[in-house]
A and B are shown apart, each in its own frame.
Chain A
Amino acid sequence: MSGTRLRALSVATVVTLITGYALAAFVAPMDADQGFIQKIFYLHVPMAIVALCGFIFAGLCAIAHLRTDDAKWDLRAYVAIHISIILGVGVLLTGAIWAKASWGHYWVWDEPTLVSFLIIFLLYATYTPLRFSIEDRDKQARYASVFAITAGAFVPLNFLAVRAATSLVHPRTLSSADNLPGAMRTAFLVCLLGMTLLYVLLWQYEIAHKTTVAQLRALKRRLAGDEGLRPRRSAAPELQVR
């Protein structure tokens, strides 16, 4: 993505996020049941949805990598999982704070929605160590893609299984959004859009950074030969740039 488009995306992200959270704070009415604490909903739920969609997107990139054997798809999957894990940390922490305020406990082990998200998070937390444990770069990329596809397929299956289960206290994610009154729904949708833009923005930034690093390494190799580069083991994909 060019610098101009990245700048436009950055501005759009900031504007959408500020608008969304201003709507959530000042326009969306106070929840009759939970009161002010429900404002966490506008942060926690969009983060969870975007993080899970990011994992699925990584699976699709991994499919493209196995089909084309092009390292750029492996890089896209790697970065997508990386950003989703960061959002996943946010989901777990904000969820724990909301749970403490609403239910009196930071964590409820017999709640399927919470435990299933934790399982998905822990599953993806093994992705980077898995990559790091494989020295051969081709094998690393292939095994990581297989992992991303398998885990990516697990995400919607897990989501459906949790929806089919009887919930104890956690509201159902999307059906609860359907029941929102107009102002709440608008605020939620703008926050969701803002979070999606933030995800895409961070993803683009990291892709741009890793591509630049690969180009610099290639340039250094041309100028100084292989001895100019320190051999390093890394979990990140290696782009071959001429």
Chain B
Amino acid sequence: MLLAASNVLPDNAGYVAAAYLVFLALLLIYVGIMAYKLINVQRDVAEITELAERRLDTDAADPAGTHDREGTPA
């Protein structure tokens, strides 16, 4: 099939393919970087969830609020 396509395509099709592949590669690199950043966001969300759960546990154990919550984690 590729052989048939290469018989149909003009000689300089490689340059056109290279140009469009460059564009595609740039897009993929960008998406890859954004995916990496998304992993960081997910890690932050997990950290915040953990902090919030600790805060809830502290509140449940000390409903009068006598425990100093500044600088939690308790």
Contact = CB atoms under 8 A, between A and B. Distances in A.
19 contacts: A36-B9, A37-B15, A37-B16, A40-B20, A43-B20, A43-B23, A47-B23, A86-B26, A86-B30, A90-B23, A93-B19, A93-B22, A94-B23, A202-B30, A205-B34, A209-B38, A212-B41, A223-B55, A225-B72
Q: Is the interface of B mostly helix, strand, loop or mixed?
A: helix
A18 B10 CA distance: 22
Q: For chain B, give the interface size range.
A: 20 to 34
Nearest to B18: A97
B44 A37 contact: no
B70 interface: yes
B34 A97 contact: no
Contacts, number: 77
B67 to A, nearest CB: 15
Q: Which 5 A-B pairs have the closest CB atoms?
A: A101-B15, A36-B10, A223-B51, A94-B19, A40-B19
A213 B48 CA distance: 12
Q: For chain A, give the interface size range.
A: 20 to 34
A47 to B, nearest CB: 7
Nearest to B55: A223
Interface string B47-70: 110011001000000000000001
Interface of A: 21, 35-37, 39-40, 43-44, 47, 86, 89-90, 93-94, 97-98, 100-101, 202, 205-206, 209, 212-213, 216-217, 219-220, 223-225, 227-228
A224 B72 contact: yes
A234 to B, nearest CB: 13
A210 to B, nearest CB: 9
B41 A98 contact: no
